[in-house]
């Protein structure tokens, strides 16, 4: 991923308003990874990633930044919640499973690239298998005239299959029992996964007669594509390249890290999902070796981006060793009325655009006056101040309240335009926002 820091920030600007410090810090961290990969091996081994800790209240854009990074980047990237892990020895997911998830993600990226490179070969394999079933080959010793006629029929049949004319035709296909079935349950130890796969191979050999299936050509195309991918692609080289990419370019977004911090007031110091998880995270974030079914993964150069609201606890409530593993700290600012207005008007595929698109399905043209958008932003900000500050998520509840009746009666506005005015927004929301108790329950 050869994007400059400015290009990364420009991409994030389309979806996340404000939070420039967070965007710059992440953009620099990503660019530093690219720079490192251009150096010699000795220097690469010495340069360690600078992990990032994003601090900010809920709804200010922490998770949205991670979502957009995942879509933008072609490097192994996963987002996990720290709160779902438990200390080793307790029932639940252990922290090493996040590394196994990262490797699985890396394999899917590399596999997709290889499938794209071999797209023509895979399509030809599938086409030949389907045509072979629709038009069985001639017996040996057929005359030249019959072979010429057969060749013409074959070419015509290939064109019909490619055009989708034969999609509803039923054919019987043989699915190769040697196709490797993979189990990617990261909760299980690698040894247990291998045992499961061994059983799968044994049963597939026993039930060979069950590998014949009668399906439509359309369904057969998808089934044979899996078979073609398994036969034409070198699985071991894909796994090795994916393992290497996960080690050198992998990124793990560790959300809700504040949920495993223990404040001084907290009584549950023996909570298996808190302090114990922090201790288990230490070696992985610092650099260790984790066993996976695809081989051992070194975590030394995996970049960790942690995020948390820290309403109840503080970053200093994390154990000191873990604090030191996240040297870059960036605080995301709370959203102002102006920021909420920009979120509604300037982001790509904003909430307003989503509602307009959804109601256009009913033949209704929904339009928002500028004053109504400002009123929605103002009342959302006011609700955040009166009750809990949930940031941009407040816009979802406010808009749903404003458009509830309109959406319910949308079919009555077929081929008509409905304009959302500031008066309508105030009529729907003023009473609710001004009443503290109502705000807490409805907004």
- CATH number of the domain where residue 362 is located: 1.10.8.60
Structural domain of 310:
5-108+243-331
Cα dihedral sign for 150, 153, 154, 155? positive
The string of pLDDT tens digits covering residues 168-179 is: 888 888 776 555
The string of pLDDT tens digits covering residues 304-327 is: 999 998 888 888 888 899 999 999
Judgement on whether residues 272 and 217 belong to the same structural domain of the protein: no
* Mean pLDDT taken over the chain: 84
Judgement on whether residues 344 and 327 belong to the same structural domain of the protein: no
- 253 band by pLDDT with thresholds 50, 70 and 90: very high
> In the predicted model, is pLDDT for residue 340 greater than 70?
yes
Q: Can you tell me the mean pLDDT for 69-79?
A: 83
Q: Which of 232, 260, 293 is the last residue of a domain?
A: 232
> In the predicted model, is pLDDT for residue 270 greater than 60?
no
pLDDT value of residue 271: 60
Judgement on whether residues 157 and 128 belong to the same structural domain of the protein: yes
Judgement on whether residues 125 and 219 belong to the same structural domain of the protein: yes
Q: Which of 292, 315, 331 is the last residue of a domain?
A: 331
Token output for 369: 């006056």
Q: Bridge partners of 331?
A: 55
pLDDT value of residue 354: 93
Domain assignment of residue 113, yes or no = no
pLDDT value of residue 24: 92
Judgement on whether residues 228 and 249 belong to the same structural domain of the protein: no
Token output for 379: 């009342």
Judgement on whether residues 222 and 137 belong to the same structural domain of the protein: yes
- 346 band by pLDDT with thresholds 50, 70 and 90: very high
Distance (Å, whole) CA 289 – CA 68? 29
For the CA atoms of 210, 214, 216, 218, the dihedral, rounded to the nearest 10 degrees, stands at 20
| 135 or 319, greater pLDDT | 319
Token output for 135: 């038009």
Domain assignment of residue 213, yes or no = yes
The string of pLDDT tens digits covering residues 254-263 is: 998 988 887 7
Among 12-21, 99-108, 184-193, 333-342, name the one with the lowest average pLDDT: 184-193
End-to-end CA distance of the chain: 41
Q: How many CB atoms lie within 10 A of CB 318?
A: 25
CB 34 within 8 A of CB 5: no
> In the predicted model, is pLDDT for residue 110 greater than 90?
yes
Token output for 286: 């610092």
Q: Can you tell me the mean pLDDT for 292-303?
A: 91
Judgement on whether residues 159 and 103 belong to the same structural domain of the protein: no
Judgement on whether residues 89 and 141 belong to the same structural domain of the protein: no
Distance (Å, whole) CA 426 – CA 423? 5
pLDDT value of residue 68: 85
Domain assignment of residue 322, yes or no = yes
φ and ψ of 137, to 5 deg: -65, 155
> In the predicted model, is pLDDT for residue 429 greater than 60?
yes
> In the predicted model, is pLDDT for residue 186 greater than 60?
no
Tell how strand 170-174 and strand 212-216 pair up: antiparallel
DSSP 76-107: -EEEEEGGGB--TTSSSB-TTHHHHHHHHHHH
The string of pLDDT tens digits covering residues 52-64 is: 999 988 888 888 8
Number of independent structural domains in the chain: 3
Return the percentage of the chain with pLDDT > 70, whole number: 86
- 267 band by pLDDT with thresholds 50, 70 and 90: low
- 90 band by pLDDT with thresholds 50, 70 and 90: low
């Amino acid at each position: 991923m050869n994007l400059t820091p400015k290009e990364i920030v420009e991409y994030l600007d389309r979806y996340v308003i404000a939070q420039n410090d967070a965007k710059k810090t992440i953009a620099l961290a990503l660019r530093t990874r690219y720079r490192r990969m251009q150096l010699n091996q000795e220097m690469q081994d010495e340069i360690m990633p600078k992990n990032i800790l994003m601090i900010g209240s809920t709804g200010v854009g922490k998770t949205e930044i991670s979502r957009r990074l995942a879509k933008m980047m072609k490097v192994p990237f996963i987002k996990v919640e720290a709160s779902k892990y438990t200390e080793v020895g307790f029932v639940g997911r252990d922290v090493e499973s996040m590394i196994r998830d990262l490797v699985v993600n890396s394999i899917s990226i590399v596999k997709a690239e290889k499938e794209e490179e071999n797209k023509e070969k895979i399509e030809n394999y599938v086409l030949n298998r389907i045509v072979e079933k629709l038009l069985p080959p001639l017996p040996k010793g057929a005359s030249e005239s019959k072979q010429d006629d057969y060749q013409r029929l074959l070419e015509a049949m290939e064109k019909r299959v490619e055009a989708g004319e034969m999609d509803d035709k039923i054919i019987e296909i043989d699915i190769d029992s040697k196709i490797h079935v993979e189990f990617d349950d990261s909760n299980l130890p690698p040894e247990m996964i291998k045992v499961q796969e061994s059983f799968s191979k044994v049963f597939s050999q026993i039930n060979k007669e069950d590998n014949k299936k009668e399906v439509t050509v359309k369904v057969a195309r998808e089934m044979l594509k899996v078979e073609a991918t398994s036969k034409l692609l070198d699985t071991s080289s894909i796994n090795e390249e994916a393992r290497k990419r996960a080690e050198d370019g992998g990124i793990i977004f560790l959300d809700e890290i504040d949920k495993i911090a223990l404040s001084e007031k907290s009584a549950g110091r023996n909570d298996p999902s808190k302090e114990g998880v922090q201790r288990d995270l230490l070696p992985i974030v610092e650099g260790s070796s984790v066993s996976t079914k695809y081989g051992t993964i070194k975590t030394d150069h995996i970049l960790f981006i942690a995020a948390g609201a820290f309403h109840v606890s503080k970053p200093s409530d994390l154990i000191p060793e873990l604090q030191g593993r996240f040297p870059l700290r960036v605080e995301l600012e709370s959203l102002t009325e102006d920021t909420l207005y920009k979120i509604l008007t300037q982001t790509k595929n904003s909430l307003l655009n989503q509602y307009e698109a959804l109601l256009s399905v009913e033949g209704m043209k929904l339009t928002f006056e500028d004053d109504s958008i400002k009123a929605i932003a103002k009342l959302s900000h006011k609700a955040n101040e009166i009750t809990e500050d949930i940031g941009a998520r407040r816009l979802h509840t406010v808009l749903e309240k404003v458009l509830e009746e309109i959406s319910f009666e949308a079919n009555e506005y077929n081929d008509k335009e409905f304009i959302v005015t500031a008066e309508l927004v105030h009529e729907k929301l003023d009473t609710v926002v001004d009443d503290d108790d109502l705000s807490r329950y409805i907004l």
